Structure 1
């Protein structure tokens, strides 16, 4: 089972990160938890890794529906979008496959909210000219 979709963008990390954030915003996603993984590794462990940012994102509809269905689903949201440098001119973008929320919970009542958020996530990917999301 695939946990996410992965795309390679032929642009630097900083440029792609900005484009991803703008595309997510345009599709109604809110970045709830931006996390600079490279900075955290440096601060906590003194380890250097290539630039990598994990964005915890959600739409209001998905957040509300999942937490109303079962507060423990908070373990699965926000959904993650990872933007990491592959090398100086290429960046990998990975996004959670939102159907996993329904698959893991078995709660089919979440399907409409998950389907809506998944469609929005795909549309955000489509806004990035260098990506061809499935």
Structure 2
């Protein structure tokens, strides 16, 4: 796994559809449900007639973590859900998840740090299992 300033990423040597199912299952194991699935490839084809490799954005949410965060920072919903990208390209499947520490740091509320750390641990484990 690799971390950037805003994402936790991993390349997986498996077919795109398999990786989508694996990350969904791994997120579920960590208490996240997938609230939304945006098929970017299909949307860009429909709207712009643009060709793109398979690419989806999963909007994942752990309700327990979300509730705790919203209690500390009511406007935190602008940073929810935690987006997870799965995309095909260059013969591999790439998984990238929002870095919770970076996202929650935007709130500038030190009370969110333990929550951000827990979210990061859970997201990192899910990405590692994809």
Structure 2 Cα separation of the partners of residues 2 and 74 of structure 1: 21
Q: Is the 8 A contact 2:37 2:58 kept in 1?
A: yes
After the TM superposition, list the runs of 4 or more consecutive aligned residues in structure 1 that deviate by more than 4 angstroms: none
Aligned CA-pair RMSD? 1.6
Structure 1, unmatched stretches of 5+, are: 129-134
Structure 2 unaligned residues grouped into runs of 5+:
none
Matched, 1:71 2:71: no
- Could you list the per-position Cα deviations for residues 24-62 of structure 1 after superposition, in whole angstroms to 9, with x for gaps in the alignment? 111111111111111111122221211001011121122
2:103 match: 101
In the alignment, which residue of structure 2 is the partner of 1:51? Answer: 54
Q: Distance in 2 between matches of 1:3 and 1:84?
A: 17
Q: Indicate the larger mover: 108-117 or 65-74.
A: 65-74
3-state DSSP of counterpart to 2:104: helix
- Which deviations, in whole Å up to 9, do the C-alpha atoms of 1:43-89 show, x marking residues without a partner? 222212110010111211221122223332212111111000014x4
TM-score, length basis structure 1: 0.85
